[in-house]
Structure 1
Amino acid sequence: MEDYLKHIYQLQEHTDQVTTSAIAQRMDVSAASVTDMIKKLSERGYLHYTPYRGVELTPEGRGLALNVLRKHRLWEVFLVEYLDFPLHQVHEEAEDLEHLPSTELVQRLDKLLGYPRIDPHGDPIPTADGTIEDQHGRLLAHAQPGQSARIVRVSDTNPELLRYLESIGLVPHTEIQIKSRAPFEGPMVVEVDGVEHSLGNTVMNHIFVNIHPR
């Protein structure tokens, strides 16, 4: 149930109404499973369902979703900073840890980590009262040759892609220069620590940056 609320919240960040097909695709489950869970969540007051349009979280559902996200992202910080997990592994590990029920454990974890505001991927960490900052950055795909930028966030949905980004140094807080871009949405060449890399659209659409003023 918590996983559904979390994923619906993340989908709802980009659209007001989240379709059942979008939920099924994101969670890799059947449409029938989604329908059954939506019914249960609706009965408990966690979401509203409008036929042929989709679902929308209620304030109660949003609060639970943010609590799960808070635990998930705090555990990701812990795994990276204290256990030296590589970036591409922490998301899967945190999927299990996020369901530990102890509120005191989460409070102590937050204090131990120094009350971090973002997770290792650059995503904002909700506070204990359910406040969450807006996600920052624009897709690297929208940057132009000659611009310089700082990576602020990378998508955590593809472990193999994350492994590749780590291997070439394209991780949050890294400074990059956009050297060139082939026409018709072709590859982009970026420079990282003096080394140039050619990036395709799949990679560019998983990286978010802040462009530096010229």
Structure 2
Amino acid sequence: MEDIICPYPWDCGKTIEPKKLSKHDYDFLSSASEKKMIFMIIHCPECSREFKFNTVQWKSDKFGYSDPNITIEKKGKTIKQLTAILDRAKVDIPLAYFDYLISGEFDSQISIFSNEENFNLYDLNQLCEKINVDGTSYLTISQLKGFVHSLLEITDRISPKGQDLNYKDISNCLTIGSENTKLLCIDYRDQNSLWIFHPDGGDIERISVTLENIIKRQNLNK
């Protein structure tokens, strides 16, 4: 296998020999190469960061990290403009949560697991920002559609047996926050249950905290 370049040039960007990857990542890369996977997550052995990798193009890409030396000034949109963006994308945020987002009570930090880092909840502007998932642009709130699209391509459009939500259901869930690479999303079916999606493997887990808990700031781990 050819060398891989770490996609974080500001403090790493080193050329990596595949054999220097962890055993787990090396085995995963070998298997993914045989299957011609276009989306996988591996770790740089030099800086320890996760990054996306396309085994067909043999190309790495950033995943959740940006150059801290580059400052981008963003001009916030009005609530009317943001609502129009959501309408065009046919995204319906549960009304109670929408009201919470635009209220003075919104708190971006939430503890899901007492022994882990807090999740960061996206504000309304962030939810409407566009992100790139495997070469296609999605609103942050709809990014699961992109991840599921890639997963379906490498699984012959078959969802894993025994998984609580199939890939079609996952793609319809709304992403409202994250912690590292884990994504916090709302179950579109009841618009209250919350799930954590793991992009690197496509796994999803239901959590006891609900959207109502977040809005009322009740029954959250401290």
What TM-score results when the alignment is normalised by the length of structure 2? 0.24
What TM-score does the superposition give when structure 1 sets the normalisation length? 0.25
Q: Specify which structure has the higher proportion of strand.
A: 2
Identify the structure with bigger relative contact order (alpha carbons < 8 Å, sequence gap 6+): 1
Structure having the higher helix fraction is 1
